[in-house]
Structures are given as C-alpha cells and as structure tokens.
Amino acid sequence: MATGVYEHIREAIVRGELAPGEALGEVALARRFGTSRTPVREALHRLEIEAIVERTSRGVRVRVSSPEEILDIYEVRITLESSAAKLAATRATDLDRVRLRAAQESMAAVGDSPVERADTNRVFHEAIWQASHSPTLVDLLHRLNVHLIRYPSTTLAHGDRWAEVLREHEELLAAIDARDADLAHRIAEAHMTGARDVRLRMYAESDVGPA
C-alpha cells in the first residue's frame, strides 16, 4: 500500500496537481488517496530522500526550485548525456541503431500534445543511454531523472523548441551512424545546453518557477 501511495503522490507532483510550495498534510493526503496516515508518512519520507518534497518548520511541502538548482541539475545532465552519446557512437549495435531510428520516427509522428512529446523524447534519450552500453552511466542518468520530474512542464512545448529538438536528434543520429564520437559528444552537449537555456527562460516567465 505504501508503494501505491508513493506513486500516487509522485504522479500528482509530476502532473502539477500538487504545485511547488504546496503543503502536503498527512491527513489531507490520506483522505485524498483513501488510506491511513502511515503509508502517507512513509511515502513522504521516500519523496524527501529523492528531493521531490522538502521539510520546513511548518511541515512537508512540494520542493521549490531555484535557478541555481536548475543550473546544477542541467550541468550534470549535459555532462552525462554527452558522454552517453559519445559512447553510443562507438558502441552502438545494429539493433541499437534500429531502436534509435524507431524512437526518432515516433517523435516525428507526434502532434502538439506536450505529454506525448515528453514521452517520446524520453524514449529516444533512453535509447541513447542503452546504446552507450555503460551500466554505470545509465544508472546515473536514471538517478538524475528523479530530480527532473519536479518540472512537469516540458521544455518541448516552449516556442519552436520541438522543431529544434527533431533537427538536433537527426544530427546526433547521423554522427552515431558515422561512428564520429567527438561530433556526437558536441551535438549532445549543445542539445542539452539548449534544453537548459529553455528551462531557465521558462522559470523566468513563471511566477512559481519552472513547473
């Protein structure tokens, strides 16, 4: 039951139903999800460890982000994603390339839905991670992704970012197909730097941060 409550609260935060800074009272959450306070307390403790919620003098709330934190997360992400792309260029198998092309085609077929854009983009990037054939790198990227779920509004719905992403992915696939590790690294680095810059603009345009 505790795992189910954890997933429900986490999903509510991801979808923006529980906004940054919103108080998370055990009684209210227990009533909302039809459970007792004990599994709610356990779920909040787990979410606190993952830095998705934070404890204040007034109780627990959805964690509020800052531009400094966004920069920190994305600096690490830029390093890891570009490293994965570099390794994929030298280690990707024929099957990896088929999966990458299928992921890119799925992205190109998506319409205006921010959720579908985010989902297909995640599949593409996870395919890059797998093509790196580095279990340690894949593990680190999955761990980093936990921090990113606190930003439910995707950068892919901002301005003309979607078109840029599709173009940059094509360039990255070409570099991987050519086994040009240095080029793949540079493209992925620029790609993720662009994502960081869009996220910061979204933060600046919002009264409550990037969510």
pLDDT digits (tens, 9 = 90+) for 116-170: 999 999 999 999 999 999 999 999 998 888 777 666 678 998 999 999 999 999 9
Q: Where in the chain is the domain with CATH 1.20.120.530?
A: 67-205
Q: Which fold has domain 2-62?
A: Arc Repressor Mutant, subunit A (1.10.10)
- The CA-based angle 211-67-164, given to 5 degrees, is 65
pTM for this model (two decimals): 0.78
Distance CA 9, CA 7 (A): 6
Instruction: Decide: helix, strand or coil at residue 59.
Output: strand
**E-strand stretches of the chain:** 53-56, 59-62
CATH architecture of 67-205: Up-down Bundle (1.20)
* 1 pLDDT higher than 60: no
Closest CA to 184 of 132, 126, 121: 132
Enumerate residues 6+ apart whose C-beta is below 8 A from 90: 179, 181
